[in-house]
Amino acid sequence: MAAVLPLTGVIRPYAWGSRTAIAGIQGRPAPSDGPEAELWLGAHPGDPSTVTRADGPVSLAALIADDPKGQLGAEVVDEFGPRLPYLMKVLAAAAPLSLQAHPDADYARRAFAAQEADPAAPKNYTDAHHKPEMLVALTPFEALCGFRPPEESAAELEALGIARLAPVTEALRRGVPGLSDAVRTLLTWPADDRAPLIDEVVAAGTSPLATALANHYPGDPGVLVALLLHHVRLAPGEAIWMPAGNLHAYLDGTGVEIMAASDNVLRGGLTPKRVDVDELLRVLRFEVLADPLLPATEVAPGVETWRVPIRDFALYRMRFGDATPPRKLPGEGPRIVLGTAGDVFVAEAVDGTPVEVTPGTAAYVPAETGPATVAGVGEVFVATVGL
């Protein structure tokens, strides 16, 4: 029987990251020397975590490669191959992230294969996988997520009183069928007029969101597209779900994010990185998102999950008080347990050596470990495969 192992993640220093959030969670001095945007917990080849065995540290990716069925379980290997199908993160945004969307699984496979077969093709894809994702807020969190009803967006743009936005509002007045034309018009707005147009939108004073985005990304067309999306404010414990084709951008705050283990991102703005408007428009789903929030479901006392319609991942939150007895760790297959509060211990169900999980630290539970228990006082998030 494999033991539960301590797991150490990798911090990515993207420029939009906070200098206090992840350091504060982990109890390190803050502010940090540089931005700390994401704490990666998983086996993604871009930055695999490290697990500590009795004979020393080893990459989680290497551990899985050496024994896929023992680490992942036969069912996971049969469905996803010899790879951990999810990636867990702590995301800490001090500035807006890029306006982006992700392809579905079928499109990702075809697009990646076509790209690999043509050396001259634009390099939009890093792998052949989809990247649906979900975020649960740890602090108050702001995001843009999904299209609002086009008629609402048209009314807001018309209220600005800017005549040359008429082609956009006319497209939006056609309802959902006009969304793609409206988005394309805004993303391809003539470069020499883009900054003056954004200045006019800001000067109108009716959209504080546009003002904030323009301060971070002056002249960026994403500032205009943002006006078509839901502006979401999450309280701690609330979640949003970003399926394939959903246009979204995180703005500010700290949360636990879980996603399919891919790095396929199509950007449309709010970024200095490469933008491919045509490819983004191919993967976008032009539909109204009725409610960006994803409700939690209690599955046991002190244990809740957020149900999503995919099998790559599932996420649970477990909370323990002074009198809470040890609980069975939810999920099956390979699991990662992230501490966010208090002092919690994870162990094999029978005679296992417990691994302590404190805020910002984690434990890894291989599939062959079987049942495991969690005890202590605090809060943990558990990532698992959604089989």
Query: Which residues form the catalytic set?
Result: 267
Q: What are φ and ψ of residue 139, in 5° steps? A: -130, 170
Identity of the amino acid at 84: L
3-class secondary structure per residue, 307-333: CCCCCCCEEEEEEECCCCCCEECCCCC
- Are 87 and 261 in contact by the 8 Å Cβ rule? The answer is yes
Rounded Cα distance, 378 and 363, in Å? 15
- Are 84 and 261 in contact by the 8 Å Cβ rule? The answer is yes
Find out whether the peptide bond into 31 is cis, omega within 30 degrees of 0: yes
Rounded Cα distance, 118 and 113, in Å? 9
Residue 191: count of CB within 10 angstroms of its CB = 9
- Are 99 and 114 in contact by the 8 Å Cβ rule? The answer is no
